Amino acid sequence: MKTVITAFASGLVFGLGLILSGMTDPSKVIGFLDLAGNFNPALALVMIGAIPVAALAFRIAARRPTALHLPEARKIDRRLLLGALTFGAGWGVAGYCPGPALASLATGGSDALIFVAAMVGGMLIDEVIEARRNRRST
């Protein structure tokens, strides 16, 4: 139960931080990506502010008795590049990435709902592809 409460509180703080910083507003994200037009540095400032918080959280997590599991893969492969390309394209077109999109669901906007539905659909497609790939390799 303690783990569930901690996860809920962490998600709540993260979501509130996204809302308060304005990162649930797609126009701010698109403005950050528009280097040649109406550039908005707000997202960069939020990222800079998040770095020390994340560094502290990783330091605390590393000292805990339960293991901190970080990805072991270090190879840049086709899947990684395609995933990054898909993420970046979705981010640039919609102005959402997963965290802010989920936080935006609280406001009831249809754009966020459509984005989250598409995101879940993409995750399901990936699961199906991975299951087929694993069946072929065994």
pLDDT in tens, 80-119: 898 899 888 888 888 888 888 998 888 777 889 999 999 9
For the full predicted model, state whether its pTM sits above 0.85: no
Residue with tokens 């280097």: 35
Sign of CA dihedral 78, 32, 57, 127: negative
Q: What is the CA radius of gyration of the chain?
A: 18
Across the range 4-11, mean pLDDT stands at 91
pLDDT digits (tens, 9 = 90+) for 37-85: 889 998 899 889 989 989 998 888 888 887 777 788 889 998 889 889 9
Contact predicate 29/95, CB 8 Å: yes
- What is the DSSP secondary-structure string of 65-81? SS-----------HHHH
* Residue owning tokens 């139960």: 1
